[in-house]
Amino acid sequence: MIDDVTIVESFPAMRPELRRTAAEPKRLARLGCLYALTRTNLGRARRCARPRLVDCEATRFATAAGYRCGSMSASHNVNTVKAIYDAFGRADLATILDAVTDNVDWATEGDTGAAPWYGQRTGKDQVASFFSDIGSTVEVSEFTPLSFAANDDNEVHPLVRFGIRSRHAGRGATMNLHHYWRFRDGKVEYYRGSEDTAQTAAILSRSAVEAL
């Protein structure tokens, strides 16, 4: 806990109900984290070692003070995405599923008829089927993260070099993948992926199989 924080009971820029919340450090601590204003820096908040808020009043106070509930550092989120990519490379589905929320919103965007892993999915079971659909359809010949961009709004935007070969037609393609990951409380709550759908459709098409 922070020892040198003085609660400001009278702060004109705050609405009365938020001033009351700020004056109840013990209550906020029970709710998950103590947010307080220092006399030396009235416009900013100090935060204790426990980073989560679990109450709407505490959330309103944190928002007024400039903090976002459930926010993790950009580096933490990037490292989580890297761990997911590493797990994908070694076919470690359990690690991937542990990194997503129970109701994760997950999709590779494209014509759902072009590849079996396209389309929106919800929840861990459907994420598991997403990876199963990839593995049963193509062999992954390359998966190389090229760059990561992240911000303090719990978003990560990687660029990945991706190579695949159709298990049925034998044809291959190499392309860039653009991924968007959004986090809540340190876990992935939303994922969107985009790829060169024309290349994917070409190597998986019926005509590609018939040409063998």
In a shared domain, residues 131 and 184: yes
**pLDDT more than 90, % of the chain:** 58
What is this structure's pTM? 0.66
What is the pLDDT at residue 142?
A: 97
Phi-psi region of 119 (alpha: psi -120 to 50; beta: other; left: phi over 0): left
The CATH number of residue 83's host domain is 3.10.450.50
In a domain, 55, yes or no: yes
Span 157-166, average pLDDT: 98
Same domain membership, residue 119 and residue 22: no
- Judge if 184 and 86 occupy the same domain: yes
| Whether 32 and 85 share a structural domain | no
Q: Clarify whether residues 59 and 112 are in a common domain.
A: no
Percent of the chain topping pLDDT 70: 63
Asked if the structure places residue 7 within a domain, the reply is no
Q: Examine the pLDDT at 187 and tell me if it is beyond 80.
A: yes
- Among 50-59, 68-77, 132-141, top mean pLDDT goes to 132-141
Tell me, yes or no, whether 39 and 79 share the same domain: no
97 and 152, same domain (yes or no) = yes
Say yes or no: 112 and 162 in one domain: yes
| Amino acid code (one letter) for 96 | I
pLDDT for 176 beyond 50: yes
Distance in angstroms between the alpha carbons of the first and the last residue of the chain: 68
For residue 133, the enclosing domain spans 74-210
Could you tell me which residues come within 8 angstroms of residue 204 by beta carbon, excluding any fewer than 6 positions away? 114, 115, 137, 138, 166, 168, 169
70 pLDDT more than 80: no
85/58 same-domain check = no
Write down the pLDDT at residue 206: 61
- Tally of domains within the chain: 2
Arithmetic mean of pLDDT, 15-37: 40
Do residues 47 and 29 touch, judged by C-beta distance below 8 A? no
In a domain, 3, yes or no: no
Q: Does residue 143 sit in the same domain as residue 180?
A: yes
Q: Which residues contact 42 (CB under 8 A, 6 or more apart)?
A: 8, 11, 13
User: Are 105 and 198 within one domain?
Assistant: yes
Please check whether residue 23 lies inside any domain of the structure: yes
- Average pLDDT, stretch 17-46? 38
* Same-domain status, 48 and 129: no
